[in-house]
Amino acid sequence: MKDYTILEKLDAILNFIINERDEIGLSEYLNNNYNEAVELLEKLSKDGYIKREQKTKNDPFNSIPTTEGRVFSISGGYVGHKAANDLKEKLSNDKVIIDLKNAKRIYKTYWITFALACLGALLGIYTFVNNLLSSHQSTSLKNETVQKKSIKAIK
C-alpha cells in the first residue's frame, strides 16, 4: 500500500468501506499507519463520501458510505475524476492552440480579404452607376425616336 498515490489510497479506502473487501491489505495498512489513515478518512468524510461513526476514541475507522460515496466510487472515484479532469484540461489546451493558429491565419489574411471586399464594393458601385446612366441614355434615345415618329406622322 505504500507505493500507491494518495488518490489511489482514498479510492481503496472508499471501496473497502463500501464493499467491505480488502483487496490490497488495507486493514493492515490502516492499523500500521494510523495517522495517515485518519487523515484519509477525514478527507473522505469532508468530501461527503462517508459518515464516521466513532464509537470510541480508539476506533476512528468505523465508517459507513453515503449515497454520494457509492455513486462517486462507481463513477471512477478520485483516480477516475482526476483522469477526466486531465483529459478536459488537455482538450482545453488543444483548443487554445487551435484558436491561436486560427487567429494568426485570420491576422495574416485580413488585409487581403479587406482589399478584395473594397474592390468588390467599388465594382458593384461602378456597375450600378453604369447601368443607371445607360438606362437614362436609352430612355432619352427612345424619347427622341418617339418624337421623330410623331413628327413624321404629323407631316
State if pTM tops 0.75.
no
pLDDT tens per residue, range 62-121? 777 888 888 888 888 899 999 999 999 999 999 999 999 999 999 999 999 999 999 999
* Residue 99, in any domain of the structure: no
DSSP 119-155: HHHHHHHHHHHHHHHHHHHHHHHHHHHHHHHHHHHH-
Tell me if 70 is assigned to some domain: yes
- What is the domain range of residue 32? 6-75
Q: Find the largest Cα–Cα distance for the chain.
A: 133
CATH number of the domain to which 50 belongs: 1.10.10
Q: What is the pLDDT of residue 98?
A: 96
Indicate whether 39 belongs to any domain. Answer: yes
What is the number of other CB atoms lying within 10 angstroms of the CB of residue 33? 15
pLDDT of residue 123: 97
Question: Do the domain assignments include residue 33?
Answer: yes
In a domain, 148, yes or no: no
Domain count, the chain: 1
In a domain, 100, yes or no: no
Phi–psi pair at 65, nearest 5 degrees: -80, 150
Determine, yes or no, domain membership for 151.
no
Is 17 a member of any domain? yes
